[in-house]
Amino acid sequence: MTQEEAFGNKGTEKPLRPSQWRMDFRKSLPGNRTQSVTETSTPPILGKQHEQSAEARRMRPQASGRLICGPNTIDVEITPIWKLLIKEVLNPFYIFQLFSVCLWFSEDYKEYAVAIIIMSIISIALTVYDLREQSVKLHHLVESHNSITVSVCGKNAGIQELESRFLVPGDLLILTGNKVQMPCDAILIDGSCVVDEGMLTGESIPVTKTPLLKTDSSVPWKLQSEVDYKRHILFCGTEVIQAKAASSGPGTVRAVVLQTGFNTAKGDLVRSILYPKPMNFKLYRDAIRFLLCLVGTATIGMIYTLCVYVLSGESPEEVVKKALDVVTIAVPPALPAALTTGIIYAQRRLKKRGIFCISPQRINVCGQLNLVCFDKTGTLTRDGLDLWGVVPCDRNGFQEVHSFASGKALPWGPLCAAMASCHSLILLNGTIQGDPLDLKMFEATTWEMAISGDDFHIKGVPAHAMVVKPCKTASQVPVEGIAILHQFPFSSALQRMTVIVQEMGGDRLAFMKGAPERVAGFCHPETVPTSFVSELQIYTTQGFRVIALAYKKLETDHHTTALTREKVESDLIFLGLLILENRLKEETKPVLEELISARIRTVMITGDNLQTAVTVARKSGMVSESQKVILIEANETTGSSSASISWKLVEEKKHAVYGNQDNYINIREEVSDNGREGSYHFALSGKSFHVITQHFSSLLPKALKMAHVGISLSEQEASVASPFTSKTPNIECVPHLIKEGRAALVTSFCMFKYMALYSMIQYVGVLLLYWETNSLSNYQFLFQDLAITTLIGVTMNLNGAHPKLVPFRPAGRLISPPLLLSVILNILLSLAMHIVGFVLVQKQPWYSTELYSACTVQNQSISKLNVSPTAPEKVGSNGAFTSFENTTIWFLGTINCIIVALIFSKGKPFRQPTYTNHIFVLVLIIQLCVCIFILFADIPELYKSLDEAIIENRALWLAIKRCFGYQSKSQYRIWQRNLANDSSWPPLNQISYSDMPGCGRGVSYSNPVFESNEEQL
């Protein structure tokens, strides 16, 4: 029997009864667990060999099960640094950088090569550090669940203690005590549990789990439950806050292991973090294509270089170096680092706003967002609910609203009893915990909650039951308290919850709480007021959350567990409406208005009443007063009728309340001429959306399957799966993230265009000089690469995001007509400038091909930047020699790089204006001033002035030495300082003899240089 057959996962297979799961699953495995840990434990006195054999005996029966299902562990190893390092170093960009650095070292271009090495090391170190930190964080997140001791009920050995890693599907767990971490997914079959699922959902609200019904039905177990089957599953990674045995069961809380390891809910979460869906972002695809274009351009330049230098009779080594040089010029090795700086700066600005990112590449994706989906409760509205009032009813209809703001207690009656007992609250360590709605409702009654003790003896009420009692100050309450016997928990599918209670000294009752329409359907029609629909709409249209309450009396002859939900939830008496107010957060409306003004669509997702959701949408500004809201209702195929969809205007009461309309209604028949595109919104339930996706998929041609960007407002463990986490629990982070995303995206485009233009400017200039077998010198390259481009690349990205969202997005593609046209026109302009300069300098009257040094004739300002021999011999490993063409091309290229940086540094509408980037502007000014200075300054005169003012200024250097306390280390100066500090020197009025101490013949100091010179003389 397979695992799927044992658990009834196949609709055609007959599932096993819960009592058979353990036994029949073990029949498919050779062997059985017949010994407990205590029985196989060997005293230390028996020695290590006996301990190992005992451990082997204990592990042998489990081996076959583990071979089938694997160990129950979620192993996330901490990736070694050397692995991360190798993976990062083998990146194609770094390999290309290594090739470029080796080439530059061979050409004695050491300065820029060292700079690239330093930048690459820093980039690799930061990347490896981030990856290592994420690996450690994820490892610590899962390791605690791999070593938990659990109680397992064996077939023959009874209850035994077992390490969680040995669990396999089919094991029967015994849950005891509180605060238990679940090491696997398990189906609850006996007892009930209260679980904190914050690790998976991000919401630390206790959830009640109920046992799976024991039936002989052949329907798979997931379909047997009338509510969501997840109500019976204890998920791995969640915490069992409270385990309570059933009064009529075996006296223990039991659950059958369903999934282990990475097949669990937590394993699926970890797997999604380890192997996220790759981003299909056009920018990165276009970047690769653009780089391939640059490689193609470099190939053309290589062929041109080979032809020129081979025909010139250059050595093969020189030809190869020059050809490879063209590749490093056309494809700049610093391009990846330059593109990353914009994202790094944006990430740093987001961090200052309390927004943390674990996937920096998604910041660029944020710049293309045009749709944002919000949860309602806790996101758009406040976390807590305020109890506004209650509307009781009797046979005459609804009574006057009882407001809790007045401080007046609710009179005793079934309605008060329902508010005090119809909830899923628990008492943990003296604190009442549970759903905020239940908590507000219970607190309004001013009752108290307690757990019955062992001495609690009331017929039909088990020991340790939850009991609610009126406070001591309460009066006119005829009962001592109410004991909660059984719960049918709330389900979003059923939209209701029911409890069975026992009044102390009174009747046994059933209370129901849920959506008004659903609760009214279970009540006697005569108990539901005729004004029910209009009364309900009064409050829902104001944005209130409305809950209906109902009750009935039960016979005390039947045990509570013998009563089915269908029997309990029938023939109820309607009690009234509970009105709760869920107020908007102060930040919600301004943020939504900002997004809507920027033409970013906003969508609300909620489990509340649709009318309440529409009202909240109008109050928040998501739907303006002039816009129509259309309610879409879709129905599944039933019998001979096919699936249908109807369209109803929410504002029209006859459509919102009554509705026997035709299955198919044209929108134009429902909406006036003003109700065209952009003036209406759709409201639909999850069920209707599911039907539409199944049968009307043409209405959803571009349905969103997965969000490109997720933002978590919670700091629970589940937030690790979200690319962004905000420490501020409101939606103010959304526009900030979109602004920074747009700024980072535009910055990436600017840097890509600038780096492409910079490489093409150098490429064109060098190819022109290659025509005369000339080239730029290493220091000319260094000035352009390091002093110009590197500084611009670091400072150009410092522009912050523009404070206002504009109603359009930046271009999402690098290979788009406007961007390509901009780059191509600038390349053609640079080519024309270089060619004109190259030709014009040769037409000047002072131009001479015999005098190769332009600096020695007209202007000697470049004599130090270029090598300055007057002979036309080549100098340096790169074959550069001074010439008029060399000087002209270098100046044109350098100034062009500065101008292009200013042109491509975009400000509004996505980034702050360029003049606000003070560092960038200052860098451009300094660079331009240096270029102009080099162009016009008289370098020899400057050196002469500096020599007189600084180098030969003896007084200045003596002052500097005294300031820093510098002392000469010559032997003469040392003796001079020692004698100056010796108070007994010179020895006046004394006679010294040769035989006196200290006056003996010693070795005298001699200056070997002086003596050798003296001998020569």
Which of 176, 173, 159 has the alpha carbon at shortest distance from 72? 173
Backbone φ and ψ for 523, nearest 5 degrees, come out as -100, 160
Quote the CA–CA distance of 570 and 550 in Å, as a whole number: 10
Cβ-in-10-Å burial (0-12, 13-18, 19+) of 1014 comes to exposed
- Are 646 and 661 in contact, with CB atoms under 8 Å apart? yes
Q: Which residues make Cβ contacts (< 8 Å) with residue 622, sequence separation at least 6?
A: 592, 596, 602, 604
CA Rg value for the chain:
41
For the chain, how far is it from start to end, CA to CA, in angstroms?
Answer: 113
CB 152 within 8 A of CB 167: yes
The strand pair at 601-605 and 371-375 is best described as: parallel
Nearest alpha carbon to residue 111 among 759, 779, 762, 766: 779
375 in active site: yes
Residues 4 and 175 sit within 8 Å (Cβ to Cβ): no
| Token pair belonging to 612 | 């309440």
Helices (H), 601-685: 610-620, 653-656, 667-670
Nearest in space to 449 (alpha carbons), one of 473, 472, 415, 425: 425
To the nearest 10°, report the CA torsion of 783, 789, 791, 795.
160
| Spatial distance between the Cα atoms of 730 and 736, rounded to a whole number of angstroms | 12
What is d(CA 382, CA 925) in angstroms, rounded to the nearest whole number? 51
Contacts of 352 (CB under 8 A, 6+ apart): none
Structure tokens at 408: 């007046």
- Distance between CA atoms of 525 and 587, rounded to whole angstroms? 44
Q: Residue 788: in which H helix or E strand, if any? A: none
SS3 764: helix
Of 826, 827, 756, 754, the closest CA to residue 796 belongs to 754
Amino acid at position 566, single letter: E
**Does residue 852 contact residue 883 with C-beta atoms inside 8 Å?**
yes
CB 656 within 8 A of CB 648: yes
Handedness of CA 321, 323, 326, 332 (dihedral sign): negative
Beta-strand ranges (E) seen in 400-529 are 402-403, 426-428, 431-433, 448-451, 466-469, 482-491, 496-503, 508-514
**What gap in Å lies between CA 171 and CA 155, rounded to an integer?**
10
CA distance 653 to 537: 9
DSSP notation for 688-740: HHHHHHHH-GGG-TT---S-S--EE---SGGGGGSSEEESSSSTTHHHHHHHH
Give CA–CA dist 352/912, Å, rounded: 17
Handedness of CA 647, 652, 656, 657 (dihedral sign): negative
Out of 24, 228, 375, 386, the active site residue is 375
DSSP 98-148: HHHHHHHHHTT-HHHHHHHHHHHHHHHHHHHHHHHHHHHHHHHHHHTTSS-
Contact 361, 339 (CB under 8 A): no
Residue 605, Cα to own-chain centre: how many angstroms? 21
Q: Two tokens at 795?
A: 């400072």
Known catalytic residues are 375
